[in-house]
Chains A and B, each alone.
Chain A
Amino acid sequence: MSKYTFPIGGIHPNDAKFSKGCAIEVLPIPPVVYVSMAQHLGAPAVPCVAAGDKVKVGTVIGEPAGFISAYIHSPVSGTVKSVGPRKDLAGNNVTHVEITVEGDEWEDGIDLTPDIVKEIPSDRAAVLDKIKKCGVVGLGGATFPAHVKLNPSPDTKADCILINGAECEPYLTSDHRIMIERPEEIVIGAAIMQMVLGGCRCVIAIEDNKPEAIASMKGAVAKLGYRNMEVLTLKKKYPQGGEKQLIDAVLRRQVGSGALPISVGAVVQNVATALAVYEAVQKNRPLITNTMTITGDKLPVSEQHNYLFRIGVPFSFIAEQAGGVPEYAAKIVSGGPMMGKAIANMDATTVKGTSSLLYLSKESTKRKEEGLCIRCARCAESCPMGLEPFLINRVYKAGDLAGMEKASAQDCIECGCCQYSCPANIPLVDNIRMAKGQVMAEIKKRRSNGK
């Protein structure tokens, strides 16, 4: 039993990793794809193709529109049919590039062989440029552009890069599968990022409910023999994969309120991001594929899948390939059950950060009637940020902005632990998210006033 875990709060939901034994299958390509220009944190990319243009797999179709933004590449070969607004999974209009698929022809220079390239390049600037040009973003959930995170400002220094294999969300198994099936590529990707950050320590952190992944990653690290790299087993607890929690679990350091992990010398990247970095740097392959899990609380394991998908594929197409939306599904979630987004529009398409199609039954997901707070303190005990959700909820309802800031609504990571634990079914996260928005706006206003 590992002793490493984060010390504040956290919960132990049933991990429900039903699909952990399902090997990764390649998802077929639909006749038409719709590629979103807003697949990353920061400014949406600007489309650089027009209707009628011919594209290959890997052709740049969107260019970054600012410092925090990312390139977007065509996931298929064919003809651009249109460029314009289309609804994303929540129903918001976002610019999409519509491409009619013709064959599967890749851009020149992309290495499609299965050979593993082990030599780590040493030109830091060239590697960073490649990561940027290949549109690599963090695949752990936030989709923050990887080249920005890997290039911290000169007055800071990274002394440890954490490769996040915690996969603490229940149900999700895509990280688990890539760690079993593609461990060497992940380790090489980690070593590349280690080199970019100046040869700091590298820790690959995995929760103890994934012994096969731990064994597989340990084997790859031993085989490749890079210096200053280790696999660390963590004691299972949600939300261990949260950046701040992972840093506390492994390094016993806390990132200050409003600060970035680099301020305590840490950089966190997901295992899937490490794989994307490997493919970008060693194989010249842009980020147009990722792995996702098709699962649910009542879906028979035989109908569950882990798919290697291309971006821009409609969810409805994926559901069809996997045997249709099951009868029992009351809610369809993209992402995990704790932090994922409910899908309001199955015609929406996959993006770089898509991690699952999760079918939840009414019994497991329907919100129960809100009761009155009985002051049991379960919300406070479960909060991994050490906050008091009942207090933020109360001051939010009273409209007390100063009280919300004092109670640190702005530090909430929206992990859902408090609402999960509340016996009175109070929608704490809904209210705290609103409070957080108000406080953040206030802080921004103060800053722009030069205070």
Chain B
Amino acid sequence: MENKLVSPNPHVHAKSSTSSLMWDVIIALAPAMVVSILWYGWSALMLLALGAGFCVLLEWTITKWMMRKPSVACLPAAALTGLLLALNMPPSTPWWTVLIGAIVAIGVAKMSFGGMGQNVFNPAITGRVFLLVSFPQQLTNWEIPRGFIGGGLDAVSGSTLLSQVKLEGAGSVADLDIFRTFLLNPGGSMGEISGLALLIGFVYLLCRKVVKPWIPLSIFLTVALVSGIFHLCNPEAYTGPLFNLVAGGLILGACFMATDYVTSPMSDWGGVVFGVGLGFIVMMIRYFGSYPEGVSFAILLMNMTVPLIDRAFHRKKYGYGRA
């Protein structure tokens, strides 16, 4: 009878682990990463590698040497933060901004709150917003570097669709081919290059039951509804729903950043409230803010409401009456 394990039930466990879930999200980002590497070339590859590398190094170093309790480093989670951080930057950003972003994301937004699962704000978004307000020039340098295929449009400078709207008005994008933009839209942050690639990854996450669709769905519906109403009232001043769905970082933010377990509500209905608020803030910033794009700010603002939302929505318990 020696050497036998004795512990209370349950005696078996599901196969999924925190690491496997994080790997699933990284796999889901693969289509978007492949498209941006093909289109933006070496600089995209370098930024992604640096982002993941820095974040893993920081997470490991901090958990090993600086945290006071023994704490467990989850390296796939750190890598994911790094990849998302890089995908949220223009392909021509200098390499050192990624390092600073990683320090803010892992060091400030995640580890100073207590590490895995304890942070209030999405680390990657915090890193990006810090860079955006600190280094606006580098973060809005929309030059397109030479890619491996297609690219070729050397140094097409210019602006993103949303900043074009801010400068020249809604009419300047009235003739835009929305479907083409959804398929391929170079000229923004790296991860925004293809809505289709992002959605393919998101469908993978849904099939693997890693996330539920409620948060992205409620964001998309709110954005469509709010912009639909404004657009109907005054099409000259306000861009329409389809444009707002495919432009900027909405798909990336809704599918991969707003669905972060740690910084989103735990209940389905809480997720809907979170998504509706997020979509509304995005549209308010896009229409009335001084920044052309508002997905990052909207996510940070809604992250703050999560503890309150979680207080409001609880599961229906068995045996306390069916409502």
- Listed in ascending order, the chain A residues whose CB lies under 8 Å from chain B are 8, 11, 13, 170, 244, 248, 254-257, 259, 329-333, 337-346, 358, 360, 362, 364-369, 371-377, 380, 383-388, 390, 408, 411, 414, 416, 419-421, 423-425, 429-430, 433
A-B contact pairs, 24 of them (CB 8 A): A13-B12, A330-B5, A331-B6, A342-B11, A343-B4, A344-B1, A344-B4, A360-B12, A365-B5, A372-B118, A374-B116, A374-B117, A376-B261, A377-B266, A380-B267, A383-B315, A388-B314, A414-B9, A420-B10, A420-B12, A421-B16, A423-B17, A425-B17, A430-B8
The residue from B12, B116, B320 contacting A365, defined by CB atoms under 8 A apart: B12
Name the residue of chain A whose CB is nearest to the CB of B16: A423
Top 5 closest A-B pairs, CB basis?
A: A416-B10, A386-B317, A331-B5, A377-B266, A337-B12
Q: Verify B319–A332 contact, CB threshold 8 A.
A: no
Name the residue of chain B whose CB is nearest to the CB of A376: B261
Measured in the bound complex, the distance between the Cα atoms of B314 and A408 in whole Å is: 12
Q: Verify A411–B317 contact, CB threshold 8 A.
A: yes
The residue from A255, A342, A386, A433 contacting B316, defined by CB atoms under 8 A apart: A386
> Min CB distance, B98 to chain A, in Å?
24
Q: Is B288 an interface residue (CB 8 A)?
A: no
Measured in the bound complex, the distance between the Cα atoms of B261 and A248 in whole Å is: 31
Residues of chain A within 8 A of B229, CB atoms compared: none
The residue from B13, B16, B262, B319 contacting A411, defined by CB atoms under 8 A apart: B319
| Besides A337-B10, A372-B71, A385-B319, 5 other A-B contacts (C-beta < 8 A) | A257-B320, A331-B5, A338-B10, A344-B4, A420-B12
Q: Verify A254–B318 contact, CB threshold 8 A.
A: yes
Measured in the bound complex, the distance between the Cα atoms of B20 and A260 in whole Å is: 41
Name the residue of chain A whose CB is nearest to the CB of B18: A423
Name the residue of chain B whose CB is nearest to the CB of A254: B319
Q: Verify B261–A377 contact, CB threshold 8 A.
A: yes
> Min CB distance, A222 to chain B, in Å?
35
Q: Is the interface of A mostly helix, strand, loop or mixed?
A: loop
Measured in the bound complex, the distance between the Cα atoms of B4 and A430 in whole Å is: 19
Q: Verify B7–A8 contact, CB threshold 8 A.
A: no
Measured in the bound complex, the distance between the Cα atoms of B266 and A256 in whole Å is: 26
Residues of chain A within 8 A of B12, CB atoms compared: 13, 170, 337-338, 360, 364-365, 420
Q: Verify A429–B266 contact, CB threshold 8 A.
A: no
Take A11-B14, A256-B320, A423-B21 as given contacts and tell me if A374 and B315 are in contact as well, using a CB distance cutoff of 8 Å: no
Q: Verify B322–A254 contact, CB threshold 8 A.
A: yes
Measured in the bound complex, the distance between the Cα atoms of B10 and A430 in whole Å is: 9
Q: Which of B12, B14, B74 has the most CB of A within 10 A?
A: B12
The residue from B6, B74, B261, B315 contacting A344, defined by CB atoms under 8 A apart: B6
Residues of chain B within 8 A of A170, CB atoms compared: 12
Q: Is B72 an interface residue (CB 8 A)?
A: yes
Name the residue of chain A whose CB is nearest to the CB of B10: A416
Q: Verify B9–A429 contact, CB threshold 8 A.
A: yes
Q: Is B188 an interface residue (CB 8 A)?
A: no
Name the residue of chain A whose CB is nearest to the CB of B12: A337
Residues of chain B within 8 A of A411, CB atoms compared: 317-319
Take A342-B11, A423-B16 as given contacts and tell me if A375 and B319 are in contact as well, using a CB distance cutoff of 8 Å: no
Residues of chain A within 8 A of B107, CB atoms compared: none
Residues of chain A within 8 A of B127, CB atoms compared: none
Q: Is B115 an interface residue (CB 8 A)?
A: yes
Residues of chain B within 8 A of A11, CB atoms compared: 14
Take A13-B14, A420-B12, A425-B17 as given contacts and tell me if A248 and B318 are in contact as well, using a CB distance cutoff of 8 Å: yes
Take A257-B320, A337-B11, A386-B316 as given contacts and tell me if A373 and B117 are in contact as well, using a CB distance cutoff of 8 Å: yes
Take A332-B4, A384-B318 as given contacts and tell me if A375 and B262 are in contact as well, using a CB distance cutoff of 8 Å: yes
> Min CB distance, A312 to chain B, in Å?
19
Name the residue of chain B whose CB is nearest to the CB of A364: B12
Measured in the bound complex, the distance between the Cα atoms of B314 and A360 in whole Å is: 36
Name the residue of chain A whose CB is nearest to the CB of B266: A377
Q: Verify A421–B14 contact, CB threshold 8 A.
A: yes
Q: Which of B4, B118, B314 has the most CB of A within 10 A?
A: B4
Q: Verify B21–A376 contact, CB threshold 8 A.
A: yes
Q: Which of B1, B9, B11 has the most CB of A within 10 A?
A: B11
Measured in the bound complex, the distance between the Cα atoms of B12 and A331 in whole Å is: 11
